[in-house]
Structure 1
Amino acid sequence: MSHDAKSLEAPPSAAAKSALQAHARELGFDTVRVTQPDAIGGAGDRLLAFLADGRHGTMDWLETHADRRRDPRHLWPDVRSIVMLGMSYAPENDPMDALADTANGVVSTYAKRSDYHDVMKGKLKEIAGRLERDTGLPVKVFVDTAPLMEKPLAAAAGIGWQGKHTNLVSRQHGSWLFLGAILSAADLDPDAPERDHCGNCSRCLDACPTKAFPAPYQLDARRCIAYLTIEHKGHIPDEFRAPIGNRIFGCDDCLAVCPWNKFAQASHETRLEIRAELDNPPLADLLALDDAAFRTRFRGTPVKRTGRDRVVRNCLIAAGNAKDAALLPSVTPLLDDPSPIVRAMAVWAFRRLATDGERRAAEAARGPAEPDADVRREWESELV
């Protein structure tokens, strides 16, 4: 080969990046871009401020690995490039419409389908394997399973920007992207970051039912319905129960109102199709689930990881908010549930659905005999 011909060849890193991007799109990823491990700027300092204010609630794992999360090189010292990949899960319909049918539970759009970790991990490993072969250098693959700040990295790579709701927003895919990361020891050409396009819009902040945003670009997870219904393991504070409405797993409000969603095309990944058992399921059906039935119904979905007791707790809050006496026969048996967090919310829902006579009789018979102090307080509290 002549010297002139060699000069026309793409550098190995450029060729590897081009092949990687083509391969990723073949496997169903909607966007793939590259950044460097030192590109997230002040995101690490913002994380420390978030933790110092206690806004992470009971998510202790955020604090435990804060130093590693602030800098990908603390996670893997050999990293030279980070490939960020996005897969759309944009819904066909407006998720907010489901809130009107209070006899049904509303599951967050991301969780209405097979677990995205399972869908993406194998594809990422295949892409990473090819990148490793093309560059001769090692790689590591992550899908929301390591102390890595995926959203700031995706913004640095130019996939989108972190909106005022702190989630990633894309001009092509709105607020509906699953993110995965491939860390490589190879030097790949980085892409330009995306600038913030939120402007004066505050729809996401205004839509939050529990006022979980102290200021634009700041989240207090302790007030977030997604945190309360998924991550929070204890009793949900009374002030948040009515605003939860019939949201039984997560909350899409701040995502769904984003104006950039108008450019998003519905997800085309067949393994991310919405599952019927997760699409606005009747509360009465969910309240009847014991642990075995729960595991069977939600196998392979994000809902299963949260567990039967917390999900039924959430369904009881939705039943109480529905104020539909037809749900009372589904609620009443749960007054004797083995789990205190279930019994407590069964009391809360029962007292809102029962007649005055039924309520007084149950309070007299059950309240004094209840062994758990938190459940007793639910019997004794003023009815709001």
Structure 2
Amino acid sequence: MHDVLSKIYKKLCEILAVECDEDISEEKLLKLLETLEKEIVDYKNQLEEYSMTLDAHLEELSKAYEELSTVFEVSNILSVFEYPPKLREQLSKAFKIVKNAINYDSLIVKIRTPLEKILLKVPGSLSGEELERIEKMIDSMKLKKTVIFEPGKSEMVENLLIVPVIGSEKWGYIGFVEKSVKGIFTAADKKIAETVARQIAAAVDRINFVNKEIERQRFLQQLEIARKIQESLFPRVMPEIKGIEISAVSYPAIHVGGDYYDVLEMGGKIYAVVADVSGKGIPAALLMSTVRSTLRTLLESVESLSELVSKLNKRITEDFEEDRFVTMAFFSLDRNGELRVVNAGHDPVYIVKDDRMETVGSSGVPLGIL
């Protein structure tokens, strides 16, 4: 028996890495057994702690994978671009995926694009009236950064996560209302929500850019058409009169302007006008066209330059909007070489003769004012 105890004692000493005494007693053996038991318990506790740590890391990795998967799937949905865009449908699909990651109960998404206003609501366990009250509350906040409502912060709602959608400008917001399971919105929920908001902002920015480019191209096409119309209004051939040389040219500051000139031979006289319609672009060109047709019609019935100016002013005053007017310089030249000039608010007219220059300034206000 003593030999068996001796072997057990030595084995315990070896396991515990302690020196064995020559004398073996029951007390020493029990003490070694207690020490071994304590170390076994400590080792067991360490294993349990390691297991819990591994489980926590595994849960974090699983959550991170879920977050990345959500962001990736949402990105794939929102990156598809069509024109006209189908953003409403894309958002509906995207937030069904987001629900798996954030576990929201109800949802309010309010986005303004250059083409439409999108309001996406998912009531969840809330009534339509409750969700509408929360929507009005969020609208009144005019958020510029993410806000999380925790329990007790508002009587209207327990948990609320609001993320503004901001790109080249503020396009709207996302409101996650209540959790579908007990708990609060976490920092991880906030991170996912902000990432989704940035993706939505990028999608709206893209729509905005394409829409502006389409409008710009359409405007340029309209300008080109208007430019051709304007050029067609200028006289193609100047009247040929013995002893008189007539020439004119116009270069608009932009594609289309309100500059106008015309030369006509009627009733044995040469009539010429140089004019500038207020404004630029297509509106000015359209008004110029009206002035031209009115002028040519009146020339067939008037007998003097002053009568022409008076009647043209009356027509323009009646037909033009209040903030529109025309500066014009009128000329008439008869067979005897007598030149008459009327300047209605236009730039000075310079007459050069025998190395001398005379200036005919404005003798009246622009047409269409009085």
RCO (CA 8 Å, sep 6+): is it higher in 1 or 2?
Answer: 1
TM-score (norm 1): 0.22
More strand, by proportion:
2
Q: What is the TM-score with the length of structure 2 in the denominator?
A: 0.22
